Amino acid sequence: MTSRRSNANPSSHRPISRMLGLLMVYAPRQSILYLVFSIFRGILPLIQLVLFKWIVDSIVLAVEMPDPTVGLPAVMGYVIAAGVTYWLLVSSTTVDNWLRQLLVQRFTDHLQDKIHRKSITVGLAYYENSEFRDSLHRAQREALTRPARLIQEAGSLFQNTISLIGVAGLLINVHWLLGPALVLASLPDVFLRLHFSRRWYKWERSRTQEERRARYSSWVLTSTYYAKELLLYGLGDLFSERFREQRQKLREEKLDLVSRQSKFELVAKLFSASVILGLYAFVSWHAVVGSITLGALVLVIHGLARGGSMLQRVLAGIAAMYQNNLFLSNLFEFIDRESSLSTPAKPAPIPYRITKGLTVENVSFRYPNRSDWALRDVSFELKPSEVLAVIGTNGSGKTTLVKLLTRLYDPTEGRITLDGRDLRDYDPDELRRLYSVIFQDFARFHSSVRENIELGDAGRELRFDRIEQAAKDAGVEDYVQQLPQGYQTMLGTWFKDSVDLSEGEWQRLALARALVRPSQIVMLDEPSSSLDVKSEYALVSRLRQVLNDRAAILISHRLSTINSADHLLVLDHGQVTNYGTPDELLAGDDSFAELLDSHHSAT
C-alpha cells in the first residue's frame, strides 16, 4: 500500500508559480492571449511619451522657422499619432477586462472543481476535524477571489514593468540621476506593503475560527434548519447579539491594523512626494539654463509623473504578489492534503459475488484527537444473505461500526476482511459500490423525487421500473403519486415550486435510494426511527423480500425489526456483550431482554 505523505509547509509549494503553471495548463490560449496583450499595453505609454516630446520639439522647431506653417504637417502628424495612441490606450482597458474575465471565469471554476474533488477524497476523518474545516474555509475563501486578483495584479505588474523600464530608459537618457531618484522615492512604500502583507496574512489565518463562528451564528439566524427552534424558544436575539459581538471583535482588530498601516503610509508618501518635487526643481533648472530641450522637459515632467505612478504600481504589484503568495498557500494547503485513507498501489479485484462475507477480527477504534475508545475488541461475522441486527444504547458504537465496515475510517487495531481479504486491499470507491447504506442522519437532496432515488446508483441511467420498484419496496409509492408532478416533483424548501416532506417520508425516500443500488450488503441505521407504527410494520413484514437475498446489518431499537434478524450483536460502551440468534439471547440472558424492553417501550 502507498503511504500518506506528511503535509509539507505550504510556503514551500511556491503558490504563485503553481498557480501560473495551472493557468497555462487549463487555460493556455486565454493565458497566451492575455500575455501578448499585456506586452502591447505596456508599450503604449512609452509611445505616447515619445510622441509628446516630438510634438513639443516639432512645435519649437516650426516656430523658429521663417514660415512656421512649413513645420505644421510634421506637428499634425505627431498629434494624430498621439491621438490614435491615446485611443488605443483607453480602449485597451476594456479589452484587457474582457480578456481577463475570459481567463478568470474559466480558471476560477477549475479551482472550485479541484476543491470539490479534494473534499470528496480526503476521507470522513477530515470532516469531523475542526482544523480541516478551517482549512476548507480558507481554501473556499481564497478560491473565490484570489485567482481573479492574482491574474489582474500579475497582468498589471507585467504591463507596468515593461512601461517602467521604457520610461526609466527615457529619463536616464535625459539625465542619469532621474532613474535612481525615482526608485528611491518609492522604496519606503514597498517596504511597508511587504511588512503589512505579512501581518494581514497572519491576522486572517489566526482568526479563521472566529470568522467561522460568526458565519455559523449568521447561518443559524438564516437557515430553515434552525427556524422552528429560533421562533419557539426565542433564540433570535441571542444569536443576533452573539453575531454582533463576534463581528465587532473582528472589525475592531481589522480597523486597528488598517490604522497602523495608514499612519506609516502617510509618512512614506510624504517622503516620496518630497523626492519627486526635488526632481521637478532639478529638471526645471536644467531647462532654464538650456541643458535640455523643451520637449525633453515635457518628457521628463510627464515621465516623472507616469514613471512615479508606474513605479508605485510595480512596487504595489510586487507587494500584492507577495501577499497573494501567502494567501494562495491556504488554497494549496487544502489541495495538497492527502486522503486520511491509504489506497493500495494495485487494488485487489472486488468480488463479483461475495462468498464468505464480512469478518470483523478484534477491531478497536478511536476517533482522531480522542483518547477514549469508540469500539474495543469487536469480533463477529456477516455471511452472504444473512441479516445481522446490532443494538445498544446511544454512544455504544453502532454507527461507528458501520463507518468502519464501509471504510469511511480504518480500524485503529484489528482488521476487517471481505471474502478473506483486508478491506484496505481494495480500492475504497470500488469497495463502497458493494454497499447500500442509510445513516440515522440521512441526506435530504433538494431535487426531484426521481433524482432522490436515482442518486443511490449515480453514474448509471436507471430504468424507470427500477425506480418505481425501489419506491414501492420503501413504501413511498403511494404518497409520490399524490405529489403535484409525481416523480418529477421538486422536494425541499430551497427552490421554486418545491414540496417539503415529513421526517418519515424523507426517511422512506432515503430507504428507496439505498434499495435501488445494486449492492450486495445493505446497512440500515435506524431504518424505521421516523416511521409510524403502521409504516414500520409494513416495512418489517416484507424486509426479507425487499433485501432480495442481500446480506444486511440493521441497527435498531425496535423489537419488531430485531425479530427479523438471523443474529443479534449487542454493543455496550463499544464492546460486544452479547452475540447469537434472537432466540438464544432472549432465552439465556435476562439483561438482554430488559434492554430490548427498555428500547421498545421508549419507542
pLDDT digits (tens, 9 = 90+) for 221-231: 777 666 666 76
DSSP for 304-344, please give it: HHHHHHHHHHHHHHHHHHHHHHHHHHHHHHHHTPPPSS---
Q: Are 425 and 348 in contact (CB under 8 A)?
A: yes
Q: How far is CA 320 from CA 43, 83, 154, 192, 369, in A?
A: 23, 33, 9, 12, 37
CA dist 423 and 403 (Å) reads 12
pLDDT at residue number 146? 67
Which residue from 337, 58, 330, 327 is spatially nearest to 201, judged by alpha carbons? 327
Length of the chain in terms of residues written: 603
Top CATH class, 440-518: alpha beta
- What is the signed CA dihedral for 125, 131, 136, 137, rounded to 10 degrees? 140
Domain formed by 10-335, architecture: Up-down Bundle (1.20)
Q: Strands 551-555, 435-438: parallel, antiparallel or unpaired by DSSP?
A: unpaired
Longest Cα–Cα distance of the chain, Å, equals 128
| Residues 6 or more apart in contact with residue 582 via CB below 8 angstroms | 389, 562, 563, 565, 568
Q: How far is CA 385 from CA 192, 361, 441, 519, 569, in A?
A: 71, 20, 26, 12, 17
- What are the cell numbers at 346? 494495485
- What are the cell numbers at 351? 468480488
| Residues 6 or more apart in contact with residue 422 via CB below 8 angstroms | 415, 416
CA dist 517 and 524 (Å) reads 13
pLDDT at residue number 590? 55
pLDDT at residue number 7? 41
Q: Which residue has the cell 424523507?
A: 506
pLDDT at residue number 416? 92
Q: Are 525 and 440 in contact (CB under 8 A)?
A: yes
Q: Give 596's pLDDT tier (boundaries 50, 70, 90).
A: low
3-state helix, strand, coil in the chain (%, to 5): 65, 10, 25
Residue 589 DSSP label: -
CA dist 232 and 230 (Å) reads 6
The pTM of the full predicted model, rounded to 2 decimals, is 0.57
Higher-confidence residue: 86 or 20?
Answer: 86
Higher-confidence residue: 591 or 114?
Answer: 114
Report the number of secondary-structure helices (H) and strands (E) in the chain.
21, 10
Higher-confidence residue: 117 or 464?
Answer: 464
Q: Are 367 and 128 in contact (CB under 8 A)?
A: yes
- What are the cell numbers at 284? 526645471
Which residue from 525, 527, 492 is spatially nearest to 507, judged by alpha carbons? 527
For 303-313, how does the pLDDT look when each residue is reduced to its tens digit (9 = 90+)?
777 766 777 67
Q: How far is CA 217 from CA 220, 255, 305, in A?
A: 5, 22, 49
Q: Strands 413-418, 387-392: parallel, antiparallel or unpaired by DSSP?
A: unpaired
Question: For residue 344, how many other CB atoms are within 10 A of its CB?
Answer: 14
pLDDT at residue number 535? 61
Q: Are 470 and 512 in contact (CB under 8 A)?
A: yes
pLDDT at residue number 61? 80
What is the mean pLDDT of the segment spanning 416-445? Answer: 85
**Which part of the chain is CATH 3.40.50.300?**
440-518
**Residue 420 region, left (φ>0) first, then alpha (ψ -120 to 50), else beta?**
left
**Which part of the chain is CATH 1.20.1560.10?**
10-335
Q: Give 364's pLDDT tier (boundaries 50, 70, 90).
A: very high
CA dist 293 and 52 (Å) reads 13
Q: Are 576 and 567 in contact (CB under 8 A)?
A: no
| Residues 6 or more apart in contact with residue 155 via CB below 8 angstroms | 34, 38, 96, 100
Sign of CA dihedral 517, 520, 525, 528: positive
Q: Give 362's pLDDT tier (boundaries 50, 70, 90).
A: very high
Q: How far is CA 64 from CA 67, 107, 140, 267, in A?
A: 8, 58, 66, 46
